[in-house]
Amino acid sequence: MGFFTRGRIQLDARTATAYGLLRTVVRFELNRGLGTQGGAAAGAISNTSNLAQAFVQFGGLTAGRVTSFFDNGDLPTGHFGTLRFSDAPDIDLLAYTFTFGNGFSATLSLEDSIERRAGIFRGADLPVFGASIGSAAPFASTLPDDPNGIVYGGSRVPDVVGNIKYTGTWGTAQLSGAAHQIRVANPYAIGVFSDVPDTEYGWAVTGQVGVNLPALAPGDAAWIAATYANGALGYITGGQGSGLATGLASVVLADAFVDAFGNVSTGKGWSVAGGLRHYWAPQFRSNFFGSYARISYSGANTLGDFNELRLGANVIWQPVSGLDLGVEAIYVKLDPQNFVNQSGGFFNNSDNAWEGRVRIQRDF
């Protein structure tokens, strides 16, 4: 259990020019988490500040920190908690959007690769780096050849992201792809594995569609996002530090691992997420949503594959414009397969948990 409070300040300046719209946005966030929320450890308090967005748009040019162009930011999502798809994270980028008219556009974007990293695993297939839930220390102490393991190197190539998008009266659709560099910082740290390459490349693709459903009720809409990733699992979880876990079991994500022969192999995965927004009355709405993710490490002896299912719903009351009072529940089921637990054994048992949230939000 925990509490999380966020204050947000946003400045948005727009000027019409002969070259198109000139827009500058800065969004600051001040966060305080208690218990297990907002990055706080159990029983601890965290205070953080965050530059959520800061970007300039000039005609088709976008530069700064803004929503990744891998994602369709016009999807009618309304969940509070986590679903397994990229879910429109803010990324540092430099992009250009070509507008073709009739609702069609295409964007080419160079985006920060560090925020999309999951991790790299050593030759023994044991975690010593990356986005994980739980500690890897018990494993590191059993690896005499290199207790520090393999780590991600500094970024030499940004992620290259491209999309084709359509927006019309019926809704929106986008097809996107991304290329992601996997660079090993210490490729010769595994003793006999001296031929480990220092660079591999991963990739991801996604299709995301939102459909307006005014025939059900004014404001109703549905959406779906399907994603496949090979060596770029951050495009399934939304970015670095996004592990998968329930109350009892936990697993670790890795873009790549070094197999028993010293070769770098990539982790693979796919996910499908979707939802429905329905207005019961002009002031009352609900969102029904879910996601299913499948991660596979073919060739890793101690890295088990796993599936994760998430299903949830919320109800939101808007008594006055700009004020949302909402409650949400999410059911999570994790199915690990031959994954190493903290005591060094294997487990295959499914685990499940419930998440509950209460949100009071004012936008103005």
Over the stretch 263-287, which tens digit does the pLDDT of each residue have? Answer: 678 889 999 999 999 999 999 999 9
Judge whether 240 lies within some domain: yes
- What pLDDT sits at residue 183? 83
Would you place residue 255 in the very low, low, confident or very high pLDDT band (cuts 50, 70, 90)?
confident
Q: How far apart are CA 69 and CA 208, in angstroms?
A: 12
- Alpha-carbon radius of gyration of the chain: 22
Q: Is pLDDT larger for residue 128 or for residue 166?
A: 166
- What pLDDT sits at residue 286? 98
Judge whether 281 lies within some domain: yes
Q: How far apart are CA 45 and CA 101, in angstroms?
A: 50
Q: Assess whether pLDDT exceeds 80 at residue 322.
A: yes
Judge whether 226 lies within some domain: yes
- What pLDDT sits at residue 351? 83
Angle at 293 between CA 243 and CA 337, to 5 degrees: 75
Q: Assess whether pLDDT exceeds 50 at residue 248.
A: no
Q: From 360, 297, 357, 256, select the one nearest 2 (Cα to Cα).
A: 357
Q: From 322, 244, 250, 315, select the one nearest 277 (Cα to Cα).
A: 315
- What pLDDT sits at residue 119? 75
- What pLDDT sits at residue 20? 87
Would you place residue 235 in the very low, low, confident or very high pLDDT band (cuts 50, 70, 90)?
very high
Residues 6+ apart with CB under 8 A from 339: 249, 251, 302, 303, 304, 306, 346, 347, 348
- What are the backbone angles phi and psi of residue 234, rounded to the nearest 5°? -65, -15
Domain assignment of residue 141, given as a range: 60-362
Q: How far apart are CA 88 and CA 74, in angstroms?
A: 10
Other Cβ atoms closer than 10 A to 248: 13
Question: What does the pLDDT average to over 48-54?
Answer: 90
- What pLDDT sits at residue 240? 65
Q: How far apart are CA 314 and CA 356, in angstroms?
A: 10
Question: What does the pLDDT average to over 23-36?
Answer: 86
Which run of H or of E encompasses 51? strand 44-58
Side-chain-side CA neighbours of residue 44 (13 Å):
7
- What are the backbone angles phi and psi of residue 345, rounded to the nearest 5°? -90, 180
Q: How far apart are CA 170 and CA 191, in angstroms?
A: 59
Judge whether 53 lies within some domain: no
How many separate domains does the chain show? 1
- What pLDDT sits at residue 190? 47
Tokens describing residue 141: 């102490």
Q: What is the β-pairing status of strands 256-258 and 120-121?
A: parallel
Q: What is the CATH number of the domain that holds 277?
A: 2.40.160
Secondary structure (H, E, C), 236-272: HHCCCCCCEECCCCEEECCCEEECCCCCEEECEEEEE
Q: How far apart are CA 69 and CA 71, in angstroms?
A: 5
Judge whether 244 lies within some domain: yes
Q: How far apart are CA 111 and CA 70, in angstroms?
A: 10
Judge whether 80 lies within some domain: yes
Judge whether 10 lies within some domain: no
Q: Of the ranges 34-43, 111-120, 187-196, which one carries the lowest mean pLDDT score?
A: 187-196
Listed in sequence order, the DSSP H helices in the chain are 137-140, 234-237
Question: What does the pLDDT average to over 322-345?
Answer: 79
pLDDT, tens digit, 9 for 90 and up, residues 293-314: 999 887 555 567 889 999 999 9
pLDDT, tens digit, 9 for 90 and up, residues 80-136: 999 999 999 999 999 999 999 999 999 999 999 988 988 776 544 443 333 332 333
Q: Assess whether pLDDT exceeds 70 at residue 259.
A: no
Across the chain, mean pLDDT equals 82
% of the chain surpassing 70 pLDDT: 76
Q: Is pLDDT larger for residue 55 or for residue 185?
A: 55
Judge whether 295 lies within some domain: yes
Q: Is 256 helix (H, G, I), strand (E, B) or coil?
A: strand
- What pLDDT sits at residue 49? 87
Cβ–Cβ under 8 Å, residues 52 and 31: no
Q: Assess whether pLDDT exceeds 90 at residue 245.
A: no
Question: What does the pLDDT average to over 203-208?
Answer: 98
Q: What is the spatial order of strands in the sheet that 264-266 belongs to?
A: 120-121, 256-258, 264-266
Question: What does the pLDDT average to over 167-196?
Answer: 78
